[in-house]
């Protein structure tokens, strides 16, 4: 990009509630040391956006005109990383401050991903959204705005820098970032064309599947899963990411699907700082197609274990081409699916053995979602809940009662279904 340099709008940062005390002391120190060494240096990106909006930043990124080797000379505690884009990590105990050199957009001809260093205004223009391209100098207390990010912050608008179609084509992941930021910040997407994301969505199939896996986790494991799912559906991106689940999208608006319950429960767990796992998430994301296909095979007389395995193989084969779910998640994910039919088998020692198995808990939690969504017997779920809570003697009694009244259970279920 060899456009004429643009002059920034410069404002006092305190107008936006940004003061040096709100910045990590180490990040301030990094900027100060670079400036003392004669280089310009700023904080940039998500941290400035979040501070201006009153949120706590996740991390603090520094950009400077110093080249990576020069950065290393300034800091003894700096390490150069990255092959495509070399940048420095400056380590202070457990905190790492990332320091990057101003970059220009890669040129269409020679841009094979190597470092293309640039000026600060070029660095601003190669970023994705205007609100992500604000530069803050904590020493002077100034914000430099090259692309109108401050006005967009005030208007709560998420605007692509430059021509949206061009920038989405250049990196289709920006579409997912657009959805994610619009949802998280509750900003309006500034686009001339409402159908732009729907139209360009299929370009996501050109993205390396490992990168999409990371993006999907940011969408669904950061506390906004339900809202992100709805926004992705609205822009016809969900079906692009999860082709096996695409035919089920319309049906989810009853808020009744296993997927919706899983997403809501993920959000809840994040709020409570409880752990979440991609295995469970992906099991839910693909549950509808997997369940339906497995049931169809079983109805055709295929043995359940084989049916689940076949369906899991086929579904994952299609899905993994787009999103690379690592084995350590896809293996337990298949188990969660296949184990759903084991809850029915409770006689003899079966219930005891299942309870002891490593995957019981995840499979049980999944059964809970299915019960909530109306897709599994609630009485069965309650039985397993109780089975975990009581001692061994009572467990034995539970299994024995079960043997005595198989008929009664069936009748009761039938009656209650008819009376609905
Ligand atoms: P988060 O809080 O999710 O980390 P962030 O804005 O810090 O938000 P990062 O992915 O950490 O997002 O990226 C840091 C900055 O790098 C962004 O603010 C943006 O300026 C720039 N950036 C990141 N990804 C892209 C992209 N795909 N295209 C252009 N610029 C990008
Ligand atoms: Mg960030």
How confident is the prediction along the chain (420 residues), in pLDDT tens digits per residue?
456 778 999 999 999 999 999 999 999 999 999 999 999 999 999 999 999 999 999 999 999 999 999 999 999 999 999 887 889 999 999 999 999 999 998 766 554 555 689 999 999 999 999 999 999 999 999 999 999 999 999 999 999 999 999 999 999 999 999 999 999 999 999 966 779 999 999 999 999 999 999 999 999 999 999 999 999 999 999 999 999 999 998 875 556 789 999 999 999 999 999 999 999 999 999 999 999 999 999 999 999 889 999 999 999 999 999 999 999 999 999 999 999 989 999 988 999 999 999 999 999 999 999 999 988 899 999 999 999 999 999 999 999 998 765 544 444 444 444 343
Catalytic residue, from 59, 163, 193, 194: name it: 59
Q: Quote the strand ranges of 65-202, DSSP E.
A: 78-81, 87-92, 95-101, 134-137, 142-145, 157-159, 188-190
174 in contact with ligand 1, CB cutoff 6 A? yes
Residue of the nearest CA to atom 5 in ligand 1? 46
Quote the pLDDT of residue 375. 87
61 counts as catalytic: yes
133 in contact with ligand 1, CB cutoff 6 A? yes
58 in contact with ligand 1, CB cutoff 6 A? yes
Query: What's the rounded Cα separation, in Å, for the pair 110 and 365?
Result: 51
Quote the pLDDT of residue 420. 38
Q: Which two tokens stand for residue 388?
A: 């975990």
| CATH class given for the domain over 1-155 | alpha beta
Q: Measuring CA to CA, which residue among 376, 280, 383 is closest to residue 337?
A: 280
Could you tell me the distance, in angstroms and rounded to a whole number, from the CA of residue 129 to the centre of ligand 2?
13
Could you tell me the distance, in angstroms and rounded to a whole number, from the CA of residue 178 to the centre of ligand 2?
14
46 in contact with ligand 1, CB cutoff 6 A? yes
Residue of the nearest CA to atom 25 in ligand 1? 128
Catalytic residue, from 128, 137, 145, 267: name it: 128
149 in contact with ligand 1, CB cutoff 6 A? no
* Sequence-distant (≥ 6) Cβ neighbours of residue 174 within 8 angstroms: 128, 160, 167, 168
Residue of the nearest CA to atom 26 in ligand 1? 128
Residues with CB under 5 A from ligand 2 (ion): 46
Which ligand sits closest to the CA of 218? 1
Residue of the nearest CA to atom 30 in ligand 1? 127
Give the ligand 1 atom nearest the CA of 50: 2
Could you tell me the distance, in angstroms and rounded to a whole number, from the CA of residue 279 to the centre of ligand 1?
26
Q: Which two tokens stand for residue 174?
A: 């920006």
The domain segmentation of the chain, as residue ranges, is 1-155, 280-406
Segment 32-37 long-range contacts (CB within 8 Å, at least 24 positions apart) = 32/138, 32/139, 33/74, 33/75, 34/62, 34/64, 34/66, 34/71, 34/74, 34/99, 35/139, 37/66, 37/70, 37/74
**Fold adopted by 280-406:** cca-adding enzyme, domain 2 (1.10.3090)
Query: What's the rounded Cα separation, in Å, for the pair 161 and 148?
Result: 9
CB 77 within 8 A of CB 100: no
């Amino acid at each position: 990009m060899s456009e004429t340099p643009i002059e920034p709008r410069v404002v006092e940062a305190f107008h936006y509630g940004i003061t040096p005390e709100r910045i990590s002391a180490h990040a301030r120190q990094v900027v100060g040391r670079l400036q003392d060494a004669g280089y310009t240096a700023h904080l940039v990106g998500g941290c400035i956006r979040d501070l201006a909006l009153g949120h706590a930043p996740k991390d603090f990124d520094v950009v400077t005109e110093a080249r990576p080797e020069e950065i290393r000379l300034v800091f003894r505690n700096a390490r150069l990383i990255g092959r495509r884009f070399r940048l420095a990590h400056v380590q202070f105990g457990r905190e790492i401050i990332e320091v990057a050199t101003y970059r220009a957009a890669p040129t269409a001809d020679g841009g094979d991903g190597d470092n293309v260093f640039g000026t600060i205004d070029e660095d601003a223009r190669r970023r994705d959204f205007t609100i992500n391209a604000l530069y803050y100098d904590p020493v002077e207390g100034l914000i430099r705005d090259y692309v109108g990010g401050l006005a967009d912050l005030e208007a709560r608008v998420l605007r692509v820098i430059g021509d949206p179609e061009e920038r989405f084509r250049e990196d289709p992941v920006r579409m997912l970032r657009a959805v994610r930021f619009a949802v998280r910040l509750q900003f309006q997407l500034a686009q001339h064309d409402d159908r732009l994301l729907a139209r360009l969505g299929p370009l996501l199939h050109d993205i390396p599947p490992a990168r999409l896996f990371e993006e999907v986790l940011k969408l669904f494991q950061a506390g906004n899963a339900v809202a992100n799912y709805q926004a992705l559906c609205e822009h016809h991106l969900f079906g692009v990411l999860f082709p096996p689940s695409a035919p089920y999208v319309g049906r989810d608006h009853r808020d009744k699907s296993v997927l919706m319950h899983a997403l809501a429960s993920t959000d809840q767990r994040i709020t409570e700082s409880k752990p979440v796992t991609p295995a469970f998430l992906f099991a839910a994301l693909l549950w509808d197609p997997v369940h339906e296909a497995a049931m169809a095979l079983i109805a055709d007389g295929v043995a359940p274990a084989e049916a689940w395995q076949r369906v899991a193989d086929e579904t994952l084969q299609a899905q993994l081409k787009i999103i690379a779910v690592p084995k350590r998640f896809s293996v337990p994910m298949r188990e969660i699916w296949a184990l759903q039919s084991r809850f029915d088998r409770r006689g003899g020692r079966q219930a005891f053995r299942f309870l002891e198995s490593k995957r019981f808990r995840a499979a049980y939690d999944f059964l809970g979602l299915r019960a909530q969504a109306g897709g599994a017997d609630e009485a069965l779920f309650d039985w397993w809940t109780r089975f975990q809570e009581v001692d061994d003697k009572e467990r034995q009694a539970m299994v024995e009662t079960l043997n005595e009244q198989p008929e009664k259970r069936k009748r009761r279920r039938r009656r209650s279904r008819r009376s609905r």
